[in-house]
């Protein structure tokens, strides 16, 4: 069955360092990968989308990569700040009128001051 | 900015009650979704709708139904609430016919069934 895994449940890093979160998928090839941020008691907020034919996408201090050979997406936050502390979710979708999104269980990032 | 509003942040209901969760979006989005979120299980799709009066089952529709009489409003109904339906319920909307459009979520309704 289609499965997406975020293999770190929690990640602690020092302020100023680069945080790297991993999303792996098995048994299928999604056309799109999305990353969301979720704060406690809030709904997820969309951050970035990357297509299967794109290797990398950037937005300010955020960078996402998509490696279809490794079946993996990496999400980087450079110069991390305590305000970046949150749970980050990856999601796969297929497009073309298919509305199925598969979400990972999330990685809880804590940036230590 | 898209705003997705869920009518209640917290709800406590008794087993067997019929429960209505309401969601309204203000950006004229065609697609609306109901998810539940549980620790360790992530977000699971209950139902989605791609047009008024249209609905499709998601991965876990049992025990739930939905209603979409107007484009902006999507309701989730628990026909007879059970304790295993205690969860965080999240409504989302997205635009366009493409299935990759970003989802815009409400802030959730935390439902407790006792």
Q: Is A113 on the interface with B (CB under 8 A)?
A: no
CB pairs under 8 A between A and B: 63
Percent of chain B as helix, strand, coil, to the nearest 5: 5, 55, 40
Please give the pLDDT value at position B46.
96
Sign of CA dihedral B107, A94, A75, A47: negative
Please give the pLDDT value at position B99.
64
Q: Is A41 on the interface with B (CB under 8 A)?
A: yes
Domain boundaries, chain A: 3-112
Mutation test of the interface with chain B: which of A99, A106, A108, choosing the one with the most B Cβ atoms within 10 A?
A99
**Angstroms from A41 CA to nearest CA on chain B:** 7
Residues B69-87: pLDDT tens digits?
999 999 999 999 999 999 9
A31 vs A81: which has the higher pLDDT: A81
Q: What is the DSSP letter of A102?
A: E
Rounded to whole angstroms, how far apart are CA atoms A109 and A19?
8
pLDDT at A98 over 70: no
Range of the domain at B107: 4-113
Average pLDDT over residues A42-71: 92
Average pLDDT over residues B81-105: 89
Using an 8 Å CB-CB cutoff, list chain A residues near B99. Answer: 93-101
The CATH code of the domain that includes B35 is 2.60.40.10
A91: β partners: A34, A103
Q: Do B107 and A41 touch (CB under 8 A)?
A: yes
Architecture of domain A3-112: Sandwich (2.60)
Using an 8 Å CB-CB cutoff, list chain B residues near A92. Answer: none
Mutation test of the interface with chain B: which of A25, A42, A44, A57, choosing the one with the most B Cβ atoms within 10 A?
A44
Residues B6-60: pLDDT tens digits?
999 999 999 999 999 999 999 999 899 999 999 888 899 999 998 898 899 998 9
Residue of B nearest to A5 (CA): B42
Rounded to whole angstroms, how far apart are CA atoms B58 and B49?
10
| Number of structural domains in chain B | 1
Q: Do B4 and A94 touch (CB under 8 A)?
A: no
Please give the pLDDT value at position A52.
83
């Amino acid at each position: 069955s289609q499965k997406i895994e975020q293999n770190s449940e929690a990640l602690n890093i020092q302020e100023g360092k680069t945080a790297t979160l991993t999303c792996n998928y098995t048994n299928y090839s999604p056309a799109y990968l999305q990353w969301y941020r979720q704060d406690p008691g809030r709904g997820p907020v969309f951050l970035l989308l990357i297509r299967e034919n794109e290797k990398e996408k950037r937005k300010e201090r955020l960078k996402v990569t998509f490696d279809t050979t490794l079946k993996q997406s990496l999400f980087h936050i450079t110069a991390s700040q305590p305000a970046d502390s949150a749970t980050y979710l990856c999601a796969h979708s297929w497009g073309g009128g298919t509305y199925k999104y598969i979400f990972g269980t999330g990685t809880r990032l804590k940036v230590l001051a | 900015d898209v705003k997705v509003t869920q009518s209640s942040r917290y709800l406590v209901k008794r087993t067997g009650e019929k429960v209505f969760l309401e969601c309204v979006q203000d950006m004229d989005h065609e697609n609306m979704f109901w998810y539940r979120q549980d620790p360790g299980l992530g977000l699971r799709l209950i139902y989605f709708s791609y047009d008024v009066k249209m609905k499709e089952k998601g991965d876990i529709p049992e025990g739930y139904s939905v209603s979409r009489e107007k484009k902006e409003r999507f309701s989730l109904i628990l026909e007879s609430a059970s304790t295993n339906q205690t969860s965080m319920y999240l409504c989302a909307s997205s635009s366009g016919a493409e299935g990759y459009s970003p989802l815009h979520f409400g802030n959730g309704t935390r439902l407790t069934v006792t």
